[in-house]
A = this chain, B = another copy of it.
Amino acid sequence: MNVRRATIKDVAEAAGVGVATVSRVLSGGSASPETRERVLAVATQLDYRPSALGRNLRQQRAGGIGLLLPDITDSFYGRLADGVLSCARAAGEPVVLGTTGDDPEREADQIGMLLEQGVERVVAVPTGDAEVWAPTLRAGLTTVFAHRSAPGHGGVPTVLADDRGGVRTAVDYLTGLGHRHIAYLGGPGQEQRVSAFLEALGALADPDLVVSARGSRDSAYAAAAGLFQRRPDLTAVLAGGNLLGEVAVLAARELDLRVPKDLSLVMFDDVPWAELCAPPLTVIAQPAEDIGYRAAELVLRAGGRRPRGVLLPTELIVRGSCGPRRAP
């Protein structure tokens, strides 16, 4: 049953050459056309596949890309992962996936595991700050951050959607509709957006209207419901992700707030169901897949000089969840 795979030695013997020659031929080194052909033929015939195990040990690194995500069940991260996977597949590199649940400790564990595996390239949506990433970077990991930057790590190349621009567009849209009391319902790691939100609001800014939930659905729902109850003067809300958007419409329904009549809603991240929702949700689309693809590209191009970062555009897609401010 369990057939031993052919090794480089088998190929060398069968081809009547040394192992080094086989290695050279297979990695595109110099060899006489004649030898090359013979080796290739034998390799094919023996169905030889070079063992990554031997190579990895020899080169002291495993190749492949480590991918660290807060939550793979979140559609946004699913699409981001898909982008990383396409790039990796094009490059023939395996992807090792780990989830952090937005928990820095768990993130550190996962990094440790990748290190142990010899993985040297990581694409991460970081959760921890400098504290947790510093040792990692010092250990020689090639790292690219995606979607979020880690506080205090300007040095790591980062691929981001233009969150600030997106927030500004959404806020302008909402204030243009007459809204004056606008809330931001956010999740972990959205400091950038919050600051952009406050900034865009200017004189209208009200820190009490900025709410941050933990990653879980329950916590998000509680945050939304709490906000809506606490501030009946609220007429518009910007939800910082599809999970937050979802609980926002749920909480609004529960409290008999009509969207968009009583409450206007803009959600970060365009998801297929936004169109199916009642009412269809106005969203800020983010190029999740591109983010992943670009990040993977960057991490694979480790040798050359890499740009410090990439900023991808967002887009406001107007559907039916926003209306003029309700009469007071």
Contacts and interface: CB of A to CB of B under 8 A. Distances in A.
Contacts of A75: 73, 75, 78
A305 to B, nearest CB: 16
Contact of A97 (B51, B97, B249): B97
A97 B53 CA distance: 18
Interface string A52-84: 111011001110100100011111001101100
Contacts of A166: none
A139 interface: yes
Contacts of A56: 53, 56-57
B78 A92 contact: no
A98 interface: yes
Contacts of A327: none
Interface in A1-45: 1-3, 5
A113 B140 contact: no
Contacts of A116: 49-52
Interface string A132-143: 000000111000
B275 A276 contact: no
A112 interface: yes
A124 B73 CA distance: 18
Contact of A140 (B2, B51, B82): B2
Interface in A78-110: 78-79, 81-82, 85, 89, 92, 94-99
Contact of A112 (B49, B51, B89, B250): B49
Number of chain copies forming the complex: 2
A52 B278 contact: no
A1 B114 CA distance: 19
A207 interface: no
Nearest to A79: B73
Nearest to A74: B78
A85 B98 contact: yes
Contacts of A277: 273, 276-278
Contacts of A71: 82
Contacts of A229: none
Nearest to A66: B94
Contacts of A5: 115, 139
Contact of A82 (B1, B49, B82, B99): B99
A272 interface: yes
A94 B98 contact: yes
A301 to B, nearest CB: 18
24 contacts: A2-B139, A3-B138, A3-B140, A49-B116, A50-B116, A51-B116, A51-B118, A52-B62, A53-B53, A53-B62, A54-B57, A57-B57, A67-B97, A72-B78, A72-B82, A73-B78, A73-B79, A73-B82, A81-B97, A85-B97, A85-B98, A89-B98, A246-B273, A250-B275
